[in-house]
Chains A and B, each alone.
Chain A
Amino acid sequence: MPTSIVWVHGDSLSPTNPALATYPSAPAVWVWDDELLRAWRISRKRIVFIYECLLELPVEIRRGDVVTEIRAFAQEKGAQKVVTTSSPSPRFQRFCRELAQTLEVEVLPVPALVPVTPGMDLQRFSRYWKVAEKVIYR
């Protein structure tokens, strides 16, 4: 019985994403977020594009309430842990907090193009770029 599942979300649709790469044999799941699709009035072409990405990933495709579906998938697989990939989306972060009430949650970071250091000036892109251009390319 596996003890972990991988949750693939809309910011990590690569078969090489850190969660799938680190847990290659864990069952993986995608959940269409029905509430989000409705609220954002997401058009058909966006759904087709994402669906085509999913068809190249080893995921079971579900839909509904994201947290409920992930919990159900974990239970079916007998898993106590959800592994996923980081995202700045506040909605993603809320789902992670909710999942953490009943499951262990591991969020793997995506490699940063520009390492953000504490106190970095983010007021305007020009100031960010002054720091970034020194470290971004070797």
Chain B
Amino acid sequence: MSTLRRDFATREALVAYIAQEFPEATGPVSPIRGGRQAALAQLAAIQPETYGDTRNYLDGTVTRLSPYLRHGVLALTEVRDWLQQRRYSWKTAEPLVRQLAWRAYWQTLYDQWGDGIWEDREPYKTGWQPEDYANDLPGDIPDASTGLLCVDSFSRELQDTGYLHNHVRLWLAAYVVHWRRVKWQAGARWFLEHLLDGDPASNNLSWQWVASTFSHKPYYFNQDNLARYSRRRWCEACPHDGRATCPFRGSYEQLARRLFPHADLHRLGTRR
């Protein structure tokens, strides 16, 4: 009989049962809880007033609703309605509603493209060809042994908690695709193993946006950007800080010349 159990006194009992029933699914368990009750508690705690100004900072007031929205535990319209019912002005609500719309947008494209979201939607604008990118993720990235404090910490957080801040996803994806020159699909598959909100549409199309196969130019960053939005959390203790060995050090123009030597610099929009 293929019916699974529902009677668990504790989370530990549930986790032990899952370990026994799904032995191939390994790794730690996230502190983030599933369920409608947890979703509603998370919704009640959102801070729309400060969201817009702080969302790019790692200590900003992002909602962390993504695992619930991804699995339909909470509908996108419920979050929008919650804001409307509390009479938040459009000016206050707009930044958050816009991010909700990103999810709706990716879902609409998924509906039209189906498994085509796994294919490059457009050519890379990096000056490199698809065959210049490696097929597989280098082992030091999931092993968190690149020696870069920031990247190794992002990798561990992904695998330990199943959640990453949007800015961290952008940095990590850019590192994989542009610094290590790995196909975005390899990074996307890795994220889907671990993200509690792992969703083929939002995930793959965001990776394509970083890679430039679904955008006008590649997304990349420099140390100033990472240090600013993380408030130097990793740079402070990193042996590469202030040295040429930090691969993110330099202006956008310098990095573009190094990462994309065959690309048209003007098209890369290096003036940020």
Contacts and interface: CB of A to CB of B under 8 A. Distances in A.
B146 to A, nearest CB: 21
B75 A137 contact: no
Contacts of B109: 122
A109 B192 CA distance: 25
Interface residues on B, range: 35 or more
Contacts of B4: 32, 61-63
Contacts, number: 181
Contacts of A23: none
Q: Which of B11, B101, B189 has the most CB of A within 10 A?
A: B101
A93 to B, nearest CB: 8
Given A45-B162, A45-B194, 11 more contacts: A14-B73, A43-B25, A44-B22, A46-B25, A51-B34, A112-B104, A122-B105, A125-B102, A129-B98, A133-B98, A137-B90
Interface string A100-138: 000000000011111010000010010011001100111
Contacts of B2: 62-64, 69
Interface of B: 2-6, 8, 11, 14-15, 18-19, 21-22, 24-30, 32-39, 67, 70-77, 80, 83-84, 90, 93-94, 97-98, 100-105, 107-112, 114-115, 159, 161-162, 189, 192-196, 198, 200-201
Contacts of A122: 105, 108-109, 112
A90 B114 CA distance: 5
B3 A49 contact: no
Given A13-B72, A56-B37, A41 B104 contact: no
Contacts of A111: 75, 77
A137 B32 contact: no
A56 B29 contact: no
A45 B30 contact: yes
Contacts of B189: 40-41
19 contacts: A11-B70, A12-B72, A14-B74, A37-B22, A41-B193, A43-B27, A44-B28, A49-B71, A50-B71, A51-B14, A52-B35, A53-B71, A60-B3, A62-B3, A63-B2, A85-B72, A128-B108, A136-B80, A137-B94
